[in-house]
Amino acid sequence: MGVKKRHMAIKIRKTDYVPGTYAKKRPDSAQLAGQYIREWENKRLKAKAKEPFPSEIFPAICFSRKIGVGALEVADILADKINFQVVDREIIDYMAKDAKLSKETVSFFDERYPGKMIELSAMLFGEKSFIMSDYIRSFISTVFTLADMESTIFVGRGTHLVLPRDRVLAVRFICSEEHRIQRLAKFLDLGEKEATKLLGKFDKEQHDFFKKAFGEKEASPYEFDMVINCDYITDPHGAAEIVARAYEEKFISEK
């Protein structure tokens, strides 16, 4: 599609670490974005052929976490279990920052949800809704476009604050700083001091994004359907099973 790779990989001892990843090799964000857009275009063509979009987005699962907790690993396990697509922060950022993809998703959003951007702007920023940047507009339209395609597990970027709350199972993953440090140090073969410094950079980037996008410093536990503490629920398969059961209970009427 002529797009350039933009996600921020950090070179560490010959290892390219993209925040939010783990030992599993993941497809390139540009490749996935292209795939999603092709699927989205096919869906639009069907809608024009009198197979309209559903009146609501598909039920979604939104994971919120600090980098290093292990939520993306849980998301991949859960996706295999319930046959959802996984969209992480890198894919969202790529689509929101690429000029061509951003234009397409904003156009789709405005067509599909007339007036919704103003409503979301007022909800997120109140009287300061005029400060919504082009990036935030693109970010919101990207999330809705992906959620419109099929049931999705979103990891990161506060997507639970953007999508309709009654269509989302919002899950917050937490753990001690020691757990995050040890996990990152093990994965990247770093000393704990180096891992601590790196996590500090990731936390600052996350903090800056939430401040810019939502005017918030951090996530409140009251925003979520459930909170999973990875210090005590250490098996990602067990955590995925818990989320799958909660999703089934919340959206059982849609079976």
Return d(Cα 44, Cα 118) in angstroms, integer. Answer: 23
Task: For residue 87, give the CATH number of its domain.
Answer: 3.40.50.300
50: amino acid identity, one letter = K
132: amino acid identity, one letter = M
Return d(Cα 190, Cα 17) in angstroms, integer. Answer: 12
Block means of pLDDT (10 residues each) for the chain, 255 residues, are 36 43 65 80 70 76 92 94 91 87 85 81 64 80 89 92 93 94 87 91 88 74 93 96 96 80
Strands 15-17 and 10-12 turn out to be antiparallel
Q: Is residue 201 part of a domain?
A: yes
- What residues are paired with 151 via a beta bridge? none
Short-list 243, 229, 218, 115, CA closest to 168: 243
Return d(Cα 69, Cα 89) in angstroms, integer. Answer: 15
pLDDT tens per residue across span 201-240? 988 988 888 887 777 767 788 899 999 999 999 999 999 9
Count of structural domains within the chain: 1
Domain with 219 in it: 60-250
Return d(Cα 42, Cα 46) in angstroms, integer. Answer: 6
Q: Is residue 150 part of a domain?
A: yes
Q: Is residue 38 part of a domain?
A: no
Query: Is 228 in a helix, a strand, or coil?
Result: strand
pLDDT tens per residue across span 84-96? 999 988 888 888 8
Question: Which residues, at least 6 apart from 73, have a Cβ–Cβ distance to it below 8 Å?
Answer: 22, 24, 236
